[in-house]
Amino acid sequence: MPRLQMKLPANPDAETEARAAEIFRRVRRMEVRTTRLVDDAMAGRYASVFKGRGMDFDRVRNYVPGDDVRTIDWNVTARTGDPYIKLFTEERELTILLMIDISASSDFGSVADSKREVAAEAAGVLAASAIRNRDKVGLVLFSEGVELYIPPAKGRTHILRLIREALFFQPEKRGTDISAALDFANRVIHRRAIVFIVSDFLPSAPFDEQLAKMRTKLRITSKHHDVIAVSVTDPREEELPNVGRICVEDAETGQVLELDTRKQKVRDTFRDQSRSRRDRTAAAIRSAGVDLLEFTNGTDWLPALVAFFRKRRQRAG
């Protein structure tokens, strides 16, 4: 089934001062909302799910009854004549990589927001949670290839830049190639990272071939990183209303299909094919050993994110 299309937003670099001011206000509103979401719902959950990479030696102190004898520092004990133990601290700092699909299909939205806006807000919440825990956050924006890469860094200004680019960066290509984006991530991220792939997971045709390729790349990436797929879909991509004859344009190929939505069979076929493609995509992602989190545009996605973190925390023990 075609990927639906809506008018793309204008390029902010070519806009007037009024447009620039509106962009700033929108980024600011999103910053306020994501901060509130982090404070209200995400406090403590992020840190409990994503642990540090290990333990670093901190210092030694005198042994006291009840200490684990396995932590005794025998070199210091032999040198001083008194028993000492080693103390360790968790190596907390993590690298978070947000990979956001900005292909043409991401700009579709049948409700107040587009899928891209939902993706940007979700990424903002994750980024804000990471910064609160002193982790680094990087950004990859991709379509048929990587359109923009911002290396991992810290700080509020950095997060604002990530949100701004996720909302307004204009891609050069219209299609989707998740496999190419994963190849890029594997080349630039050399230490283990938490990788969030935010997309509608509607790869360019041929669907079966691209789906198999994506599954292979996900499996390879998940061997080196903790990969989490975040699917953002729109209700109109699965259900057509009864509104008579309409022309549906594939946002990425430009192909136009005329549908008579007055016919129940047409609406049922559209729904069944869309659900089949969604289910096959979800199965491919999970078979690659990757967790899948699903958001629907127009619904409150935050409870699903909180529940996902809770489930991962329980699974980790």
Contact in structure between 261 and 267 (CB atoms under 8 Å): yes
pLDDT tops 90 at residue 177: yes
* CA dist., res. 21 & res. 23, Å (int): 5
**Of 167, 159, 119, which is closest to residue 136 (Cα–Cα)?**
159
Sign of the torsion angle spanned by Cα atoms 142, 145, 150, 152: positive
pLDDT digits (tens, 9 = 90+) for 210-238: 999 999 999 999 999 999 999 999 988 88
pLDDT digits (tens, 9 = 90+) for 126-171: 888 887 778 899 999 999 999 999 999 998 889 888 988 998 899 9
Contact in structure between 233 and 296 (CB atoms under 8 Å): yes
Q: Which domains does the chain have, with CATH numbers?
A: 12-49+93-316 (3.40.50.410), 55-91 (no CATH)
pLDDT at position 44: 57
Contact in structure between 120 and 107 (CB atoms under 8 Å): no
pLDDT at position 301: 84
* CA dist., res. 144 & res. 173, Å (int): 6
pLDDT at position 122: 87
* CA dist., res. 21 & res. 24, Å (int): 5
Contact in structure between 312 and 49 (CB atoms under 8 Å): yes
pLDDT at position 250: 75
pLDDT tops 90 at residue 308: no
pLDDT at position 10: 46
**Amino acid, single-letter form, for residue 187:** R
pLDDT at position 9: 41
Token output for 154: 């810290």
pLDDT tops 50 at residue 311: yes
pLDDT digits (tens, 9 = 90+) for 57-97: 668 889 888 888 888 989 989 999 999 988 765 555 789 99
* CA dist., res. 122 & res. 116, Å (int): 10
pLDDT-derived band at 115, boundaries 50, 70, 90: very high
pLDDT tops 50 at residue 8: no
pLDDT digits (tens, 9 = 90+) for 248-296: 777 777 778 888 889 999 899 989 999 999 999 999 999 999 999 999 9
Of 15-24, 39-48, 304-313, which gets the smallest average pLDDT? 15-24
pTM value is: 0.76
